[in-house]
Structure 1
Amino acid sequence: MTTTLPTLAPPSTIIKRQASPTPIVELHVTPPSLPPPPAPRPAISHGHRINIRTDPFIQPPYLAEPVPTEDGGFIYYSCRPGGPRLYDYLMVLSLKPYGLMRWQVEEAEAHILGSEGLSDVGKCMHALHNRWVFLHELLMYVDPAKCIADFVHSWWHHIYNMVGLKVLTHYLSEFQHAKLITVRQAADICFQYRADVKAGTAEDGSVLAPDRARQPDVAGA
């Protein structure tokens, strides 16, 4: 016997599902407070940088005429087999402040001048700084930044004549890599050097006598 199940008719009304309404949430966003804009930088006057040489002021031919020294004498010639060199002008500096220890300065300087890995300008820079540190060794250990700044400020005319700004900047970067001075201190020393050169040189670039030098203008260097 077979049983037949009744067929269900579809509902007459279709039930449609509606999405629940999205709740409205009011967001109160407070805009962040921005810092005030930085003050405008003063305009750089490029006129103050005229005649600031990057290379040594002394150029070949060397010792073409007698050169006065700090001891009151003159340098007339060089006995070097290859002729006079730039570092012959180191004889301009007096050795009297070193007293009986001048032989140590001369011996250390002979090693510097005999180095094969240095240019003549680099030898002059190392020799000048070696002479300064010999007289201010304690300050170099206690406050190297002040010692280096005093060296450049006091002997800027020797650096200007025999070294130049380019090698001086490289030399300061070596001190900065050795953690003896900071980048800011190196920049301040360069600014002071520019001010000293501008105040102590004539229009032709030659170094003025101390009584004719002008007051350094550090702000406009």
Structure 2
Amino acid sequence: MTKKLLLNEWEELGGENAAKGTLKKLADKYGVPGGTVRRWKSEYLKKNKANVHSKKRTNAERSSKRDIQIKKDILNDVPREEVMAKNGISERTYSRKEKSIRQLRLEKTEKQLDEIIEKVYADMSDMLKNIEISKRNLVIRMAKEISKDDSLDVKRLQVIDKAYIAIKKMGNDLMRTGKMLTAYEVLEIDKQLAEEALQKEKLEIEKAKIKKDDDKDSEKEKEVIQLLRNITKKVENNE
């Protein structure tokens, strides 16, 4: 009983933040040796810290289980309103969880696809090289057909053209599978970057012009102020 009263009073006086000498005063008040009071304090603090740690761990476990349940419900296509009501969450929280799931699924899918591509298309660079060689050969064949002196074989030209289009499409598909940009896409990006650089340059020029005009206005303003001062001084001298 004495131990409980003493420790309660120590807590009321500030506990670990209590004034220096508080424990000694309490030991004298309750007639308990100083060493015993210090041991009580040590045991009390140790027990409290263990309880706090246990409580934090329990709360974290509970929160983790709840989070897992919410994600399971979303994956199982449980209606939004039902998930929100069941778990006591807001629409904003629901949307955040849903977005998190989509991101995880996307990352998992991309990882699996990357592994498949790495195994199936280990020789992708060689395949793309062969496709480019085939395109080159078709262009040469087309040019030879057109350059013939006799009448053009239209059907043959159409066959070559179709073959070129087909193999070009295969190459583009293969590049997209390997998450690469096609030649056309590279040109488009270069064009966009050039336009952005040009716009930035124009903006910098415009800023420089505005600054120059501001500097001129400031200089004129100083000249006017100085002129007014001179006039004022002359008037004062005449008086």
TM-score, normalization by structure 2 = 0.17
TM-score, normalization by structure 1 = 0.18
Question: Of Structure 1 and Structure 2, which has the larger fraction of its residues in helix?
Answer: 2
